[in-house]
Structure 1
């Protein structure tokens, strides 16, 4: 079992989690209304588990000639500076993917939220939007209608305690 802690203050960010060998397939239900009225996708990770995302994930975004998701679990995104181009992530590899409810003590970073909101939630394209109670930015929540529903912890911002 692994507990993730804030690198800045040492506070636990999660309870004990079990590592999965790979990120499960992202559910294909993004954008569809649910019984509760939300348009959020089903969570990628089951509660109590985490995995590492091997592909670049999150900000910064860089130009790309071919249409493909901006990052795993994200939408295809056109480049506003190039009519025929697209954007893809040049972010960190091996971000820690977990169910958002496994890190309940994190707070919204209101400075980053205004730049990372989509129509129904957070799209994650503007960088980290979750902070430890000490104020250190530690991760990015995505929960917009056209993204996966997951939390990514930035590897440089967290440490692990393994039992």
Structure 2
């Protein structure tokens, strides 16, 4: 049995765990219509032999020989340049790890107090509002087929962007937003100095994160 502890203060960060092999579906996101099982069973941990985590490189910036050597057979959104050997456990087995916003960037015990928010459809607008309302706690925002990001309202999310400190990734279908609205949104993000990416996924319609949509 293994117990993981904080390297800084020796606080126990997990229940006693037994090591198992990394499940075969560890890198699978979709189950071809079948719900994927939980990655890790309670009481177990596995070691990720491949690089994982930040920093990431977009697929366009990778070398074909390197990709082949790492066994990646098809294009992916990004390739990790992180260190191999990440420990994977079930979330219910964590112990003693809490969010401490005032220690963000310098906390021990593995968590730095920052959070990421993800929203689909109107949720895209809601997570943007959350990030602008709590710039000291939200580090990243992702919105997929988002709606109501650019409106005529005085408190439209795009007008709140000067308060934003989080990185932003927006994934749009071909019919989510008029081109003029996308331009206005990107202009506001650029003006505020926000690190961001706005992508339009060809061949998709609004709601593409749902299994019934392409």
TM-score, normalised to structure 2's length? 0.38
**Higher normalized helix content (fraction of residues):** 2
Which has the greater radius of gyration?
2
**Higher normalized strand content (fraction of residues):** 1
TM-score, normalised to structure 1's length? 0.49
Q: Whose RCO is larger (CA < 8 A, sep 6+)?
A: 1
